[in-house]
A and B are shown apart, each in its own frame.
Chain A
Amino acid sequence: DAGVIQSPRHEVTEMGQEVTLRCKPISGHNSLFWYRQTMMRGLELLIYFNNNVPIDDSGMPEDRFSAKMPNASFSTLKIQPSEPRDSAVYFCASSLVGTHEQYFGPGTRLTVT
């Protein structure tokens, strides 16, 4: 069975550019989570969706970050404009509503120069 799919796996961009990260959750899962991981701050929840609806975006750092989930099988996280401090690994995870186990994708390693 396919797990959570993320693309791209690596992204290197210059400050000021727009970055779009993509995620396909596990089929049948109805919760989707976007995380950011850095050495200093660990895993931080940015936003999560239930049944394609954003439930809590309190972790989104600022207006430069936005996330969408147009259907049950696709979500995007966009950063515009990107800054060097956005450099991190961005994970997408999915789960079934009512359960706590989250299945993570392989992550996107973002470097903003």
Chain B
Amino acid sequence: RKEVEQDPGPFNVPEGATVAFNCTYSNSASQSFFWYRQDCRKEPKLLMSVYSSGNEDGRFTAQLNRASQYISLLIRDSKLSDSATYLCVVTNAGNNRKLIWGLGTSLAVNP
């Protein structure tokens, strides 16, 4: 089983739609969680950290469920510019400096 698993998609949604991605991680001792965004043929960039209580940044909401070991990302009122691959990232339980990366979920927002 992969350490971090994501549905690869692609998710094709119209502008203005709400879309949600889930991610599961295998090691219950992992402590920190993130969503990164990667545009086609570009480098990954941090989108947001994920806190235990859930957190929101504009149209983006991230939630963590430690009991079920999954993380979610909700995008409301999606824009064309949201089209990208969204990478779920978890810190390595034995070494908090190492990040373990999911393969990503591809999102295409259509006009």
Q: Which chain B residues (86-111) contact chain A, with CB distance < 8 Å?
A: 87, 91, 95-99, 101-104
Q: How far is the CA of A101 from the CA of B34 in the complex (A)?
A: 9
Tell whether, in the assembled complex, residue A56 and residue B98 are in contact, meaning their CB atoms are under 8 Å apart.
yes
Q: How far is the CA of A106 from the CA of B87 in the complex (A)?
A: 17
Which one of B45, B96, B99, B102 lies within 8 Å of A45 (CB-CB)? Answer: B99
What total of A-B pairs shows CB separation below 8 Å? Answer: 38
Tell whether, in the assembled complex, residue A42 and residue B95 are in contact, meaning their CB atoms are under 8 Å apart.
no
Tell whether, in the assembled complex, residue A91 and residue B43 are in contact, meaning their CB atoms are under 8 Å apart.
yes
Q: Mark B25-56, 1 if CB is under 8 A from A, else 0.
A: 00000001010000000111110010000000
Residues on A with C-beta less than 8 A from B46 are: 101-102
Which one of B44, B91, B97 lies within 8 Å of A55 (CB-CB)? Answer: B97
Indicate whether A43 sits within 8 Å of B43 (C-beta atoms), given known contacts A31-B97, A100-B32: no
Residues on B with C-beta less than 8 A from A48 are: 97-98
A25: Cβ under 8 A from any B Cβ: no
Q: How far is the CA of A41 from the CA of B55 in the complex (A)?
A: 29
A104: Cβ under 8 A from any B Cβ: yes
Residues on B with C-beta less than 8 A from A50 are: 97
- Interfacial residues, chain B to chain A (CB-CB below 8 A): 32, 34, 42-46, 49, 87, 91, 95-99, 101-104
| Known contacts A101-B46, A102-B99, A107-B43; 14 further A-B pairs (Cβ under 8 A) | A31-B97, A42-B102, A42-B103, A43-B87, A45-B98, A56-B95, A91-B43, A100-B32, A100-B96, A101-B34, A102-B46, A104-B44, A105-B43, A106-B43
